[in-house]
Structure 1
Amino acid sequence: MPVIFRWEGIRFHFFSNEGNPREPIHVHAQRADAEAKIWLYPEAAIADSEGFTRRELSQLLRVVEQNKALIEEAWHGHFR
């Protein structure tokens, strides 16, 4: 489970086995009491979540948009 970065106590990561065939590029945001899966394209969007408030989900979307290049680089570097 490669961790890409941390923000406000939330770990942004993906799993080494992201399905077969592999799912489109996305990132998981996780803290002890909450979890979300966020698609990157066509724009950042919540795929699934549990435990985050609506406000927190909006913040997560902004953070993912701001770090889209970093997430993509980590994803493509891992799955080469």
Structure 2
Amino acid sequence: MRPKKSPKTLKRRWRSDLPADKLVTVTVPTIVRDGQFRLFFFSREETRIHVHVSHVDGEAKFWLTPMVDLANHTGLSASQLRQAQAVVNVHLKEIQDAWNYHFGR
């Protein structure tokens, strides 16, 4: 049995041409859980402020500026995307504060 990984770290390949032994550790802070949604971001991803929304059926990424806007998604229905965006809007200040705190801005 493999040991459990901390929920705040994840091994992720940055380039598909890297061998498996060149994985990097990435911090994945969970900002909030709301219903069936978990809002988080990757600590070593792009600098434009955004949030990932995870759901048992899939995931979405939302840009936060200049307004909340869907960047991409996979596996979520139109209804689930509307719900996810509503959750992002409700927690927008928390997300922005967590982003600024994490990145020291």
TM (norm. structure 1) is 0.88
What is the CA RMSD across the aligned residues, in angstroms? 1.1
Pick the aligned partner of 1:15 from 13, 28, 42. 42
Unaligned runs of 5+ residues in structure 2 are 1-27
Unaligned runs of 5+ in 1: none
In 1, the alpha carbon distance for the partners of 2:39 and 2:96 equals 12
Q: Does 1:34 find its partner at 2:58?
A: yes
Aligned residue pairs: how many?
Answer: 77
How far apart are the structure 1 equivalents of 2:39 and 2:80? Answer: 14
Task: Tell me by how many angstroms 1:32 deviates.
Answer: 3.4
Pick one of 49, 59, 84 that aligns with 1:60: 84
Letter in 1 for 2:74: E
* Structure with the greater alpha carbon radius of gyration: 2
Aligned residue number for residue 74 of structure 1:
98
Matched residues in 1 for 2:44 and 2:70: separation?
A: 20
Structure 1 residue 18, shift from structure 2 partner: 1.5
**Deviation by residue 1:5-54 (Cα, 9 ceiling, x = unmatched):** 011222100001023xx2x1110001333011011112111100001110
Q: Is the 8 A contact 2:32 2:38 kept in 1?
A: yes
Is residue 73 of structure 2 the alignment partner of residue 46 of structure 1?
no
TM-score, normalised via structure 2 length: 0.69
- Once residues 4 and 44 of structure 1 are traced to their aligned partners in structure 2, the CA distance between those partners, rounded to angstroms, is 16
Moved beyond 4 Å, runs of 4+: none
